[in-house]
Amino acid sequence: MTASILVRGACAAALLLALAVGLPGAAQAADVSVKIDNFTFGPQRLSVKLGDTVVWTNEDDIPHTVVSISRFRSAALDTGDKFSFTFTKAGTYEYFCGLHPQMQGTIVVEAATGSATK
């Protein structure tokens, strides 16, 4: 009798522990959208979690590209085209449109545990 109570307690404790630190898949990585329109990235500054995927969609009537030097570079995006990038490293990513470099944006990638690196 004592052994099974102990086992149940250990299981309960393990379950609680697992929930506390977040089981893989318990907190789903998200797809976050950035809309490109009127020569603007919207939102211009975006905070996401480590593992999130940002999806840029060009809704403008002119092509754009999404470029972060040494980090990522999209193909030419015509109206309706999308570009996705999954952020596996925390940090701040400055990017711009390769055709119209006055268009700029920032993605801030925060570490998953919730202790954001400011």
Q: Which residues bind other proteins (CB under 8 A)?
A: 38-40, 60-63, 65, 67, 69, 75-76, 78-79, 94-96, 98-102, 104
Residues facing residue 18 across a β-bridge = none
Bridge-based pairing state of the strands 104-110 and 45-49: parallel
Rounded Cα–Cα distance for residues 50 and 67 (Å): 19
Judge whether 33 and 66 are in contact, CB under 8 Å: no
The identity of residue 60, as a single letter, is D
Taking the complex as a whole, the smallest distance from the CB of residue 102 to other proteins amounts, in Å, to 4
Shortest approach of other proteins to residue 52 CB, angstroms?
22
Q: In the bound complex, what is the minimum distance in angstroms from residue 97's beta carbon to other proteins?
A: 9
Closer Cβ to other proteins, 87 or 96, answer by number: 96
CA–CA dist 58, 35 (Å, integer): 6
Which residue number, 84 or 113, has a Cβ lying nearer to other proteins? Answer: 84
Which one, 56 or 95, has the nearer CB to other proteins?
A: 95
* Least spacing, CB of residue 48 vs other proteins, in Å: 19
Q: Which of 54, 68, 52 is nearest to 110 (CA)?
A: 52
